[in-house]
């Protein structure tokens, strides 16, 4: 009876910017442990050139492993048509495209303008066929950019409308560099929803400046029920200076469960998955308050 759906993005967003490499076998154990904890959707990797992000070189193999886990929705990122073709061949259930509202970030991240990315996404929508994967457009740097600075809200709304017209199934707003505050979250989600309706589905938030959970709650108040998060707060875009710290999955789950909002995720098993992560990357810093403090005495998860 989930009321909130959480997509674990650690195996992709978390590892792409990590200073240390996780082995393929460790990734498989981690993905399996996350699924065993009740995480229903995992972004397991990205189909980018390995020379650009070596940590994603084994994405095909991780997708194959994840597809063997019953009930798990397997997500992969693709930056262009070529990446989408690889995701199609691998059999991912859902493919997400990073479409930046910041022109400078778009050029640094995918070597294309936002308009060119919309054209790429439209091509992929047309080529997937009736039985192809769900296509999500994640509007990156929607709340600000370390390269460009301010990102006008009108640009975000316009980009969302273009992506909806291109035929994407769903849209996420991403605070790629952790600039957002709760008032901004409420305002922009409200504006974009007024433009594209229910196609606006998810929030991808970072905790770079400590406002991740506050921003998630503000998005929830605006009707958002799908959230990206990363175990241990790993993550960040390697092409956006200062983009660190995804919202911590275990802290996000705890917040909702403590509020009586079920996520379908077992916190004890989630902490066990964090232990596997820590053992696989012993020199990588992990973040989060729940893992340090533990569950409150007598805590009862939402039913």
SS (H, E, C) 143-189: CCECCCECCCHHHHHHHHHHHHHHCCCEEEEECCCCCCCHHHHHHHH
Q: Which helix (H) or strand (E) holds 278?
A: helix 267-280
Distance of CA 272 to the CA centre of its chain: 21
pLDDT for 109 equals 83
Residue-level pLDDT at 130: 80
Q: Flag whether 145 is in a domain.
A: yes
Q: Look up the pTM and report it.
A: 0.95
170 is catalytic: no
Q: Specify the pLDDT at position 17.
A: 80
Is the residue at 289 inside a domain?
Answer: yes
pLDDT for the residue numbered 18: 82
Q: How many domains does the chain have?
A: 1
In a domain, 202, yes or no: yes
Please tell me which residue in 7, 124, 145, 237 is annotated as part of the active site: 237
Query: What pLDDT does residue 243 have?
Result: 46
Q: Within 13 A of 274's CA, how many CA atoms are on the CB side? A: 24
- Domain containing residue 275: CATH number: 3.20.20.70
116: containing domain: 5-293
Query: Is 302 inside a domain boundary?
Result: no
pLDDT for position 199:
98
DSSP label at residue 284: S
Q: Confirm whether 71 is domain-assigned.
A: yes
Which two tokens mark 283? 């020199």
Give pLDDT tens digits for 79-124. Answer: 999 999 999 999 999 999 999 999 999 998 889 999 999 999 999 9
CA distance 244 to 224: 23
**Domain presence at residue 146:** yes
Three-state SS for 16-72 is: HCCCCCCCHHHHHHHHHHHHHCCCCEEEEEECCCCCCCHHHCCHHHHHHHHHCCCCC
Classified as helix, coil or strand, 82 is: helix
Distance of CA 75 to the CA centre of its chain: 9
pLDDT of residue 255: 98
Structural domain contains residue 192? yes
Q: Which residues of the chain have pLDDT under 70?
A: 236-244
The confidence score (pLDDT) of residue 1 equals 82
Going by C-beta distance under 8 Å and a sequence separation of 6 or more, which residues neighbour residue 277?
A: 10, 30, 231, 232, 234, 286
Query: Is 63 within the bounds of a domain?
Result: yes
């Amino acid at each position: 009876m989930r009321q909130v759906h959480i997509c674990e993005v650690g195996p992709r967003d978390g590892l792409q910017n990590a200073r240390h490499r996780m082995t393929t076998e460790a990734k498989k154990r981690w993905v399996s442990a996350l699924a065993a904890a009740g995480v229903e959707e995992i972004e397991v990797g990205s189909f980018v050139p390995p020379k650009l992000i070596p940590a994603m070189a084994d994405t095909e193999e991780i997708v194959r492993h994840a597809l063997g886990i019953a009930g798990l929705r397997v997500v992969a990122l693709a930056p262009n048509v070529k990446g989408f073709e690889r995701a199609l061949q691998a059999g991912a259930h859902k493919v997400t495209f990073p479409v930046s509202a910041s022109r400078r970030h778009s050029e640094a991240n995918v070597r294309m303008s936002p308009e060119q990315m919309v054209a790429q996404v439209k091509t992929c929508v047309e080529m997937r066929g009736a039985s192809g994967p769900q296509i999500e457009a994640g509007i990156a740097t929607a709340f600000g950019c370390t390269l460009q600075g301010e990102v006008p809200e009108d640009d975000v709304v316009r980009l969302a409308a273009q992506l909806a017209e291109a035929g994407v199934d769903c849209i996420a707003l991403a605070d790629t560099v952790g600039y957002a505050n709760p008032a901004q979250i409420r305002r922009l989600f409200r504006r974009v929803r007024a433009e594209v309706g229910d196609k606006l589905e998810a929030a991808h938030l970072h905790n770079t400046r400590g406002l991740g959970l506050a921003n998630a709650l503000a998005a929830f108040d605006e009707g958002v029920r799908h959230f990206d998060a990363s175990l241990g707060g790993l993550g960040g875009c390697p092409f956006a200076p200062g983009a660190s710290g995804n919202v911590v999955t275990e802290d996000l789950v705890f917040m909702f469960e403590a509020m009586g909002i079920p996520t379908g995720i077992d916190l004890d098993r989630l902490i066990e998955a964090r232990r596997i992560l820590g053992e696989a990357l012993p020199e990588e810093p992990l973040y989060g308050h729940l893992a340090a403090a533990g569950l409150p005495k007598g805590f009862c998860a939402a039913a």
